[in-house]
Structure 1
Amino acid sequence: MFANKFVTDLHVKFKYIHVKRGEESLDQLKPSLMMLNNFITQFQTEMGKIFAPEVAIEWLETYFMQRYRKVKERVEFIEKAIHEKSWKPRPIPDADKLDNKR
């Protein structure tokens, strides 16, 4: 998934992303997020024709919302980060804590 490749957990953990990478990521993620929002709305509408509204919500929560939330959190993180006025030094992970057993 694009959100995981360009905006990693390290970016989120250390609250740091290069502005250019953030802008490029937003260009990719915003249309995807809009499509996901449209899917949720359409899914609930169509499911409401057959089942009770709770069924659509349950199915979305079970099969879809975890990934959706991850994309949405990444977009919100990037939007906030690219408007940051001052940056702390770039965080470098501790090499002793890296899992390099391959």
Structure 2
Amino acid sequence: MLRHTGRGIPRNFITYAASKLPMLRKISLDTCDSVEGDFDIPTFSDRYFLSIVKIARCKLQKCTLDLHNMESRRAPVHKEMLVLVWNSEKLTRTVVKDRL
């Protein structure tokens, strides 16, 4: 799981990670960490053993827990998540709305 690591993950990371880690089954990423703002979805043959991909879309929300720093800071929170699940026959796509 790679969450809120900063903009630096390349667009083709899912396919690259699946090719370098052939036993990888599940991966969770945030679009706010992508260099280009999105990720490529692997084709059925390029996914190796990868069966679940979760891609969360973030939005900025004011952070009110930091009482020592009076400046209003904004922290990324999950808005919704795209869940891709491959079984032996098909790809299922689901969008899950996250609660704030």
Q: TM-score, normalised by structure 1?
A: 0.21
Pair member with larger Rg: 1
Higher helix share: 1
- Structure with the bigger RCO (C-alpha within 8 Å, sep 6+) is 1
Higher strand share: 2
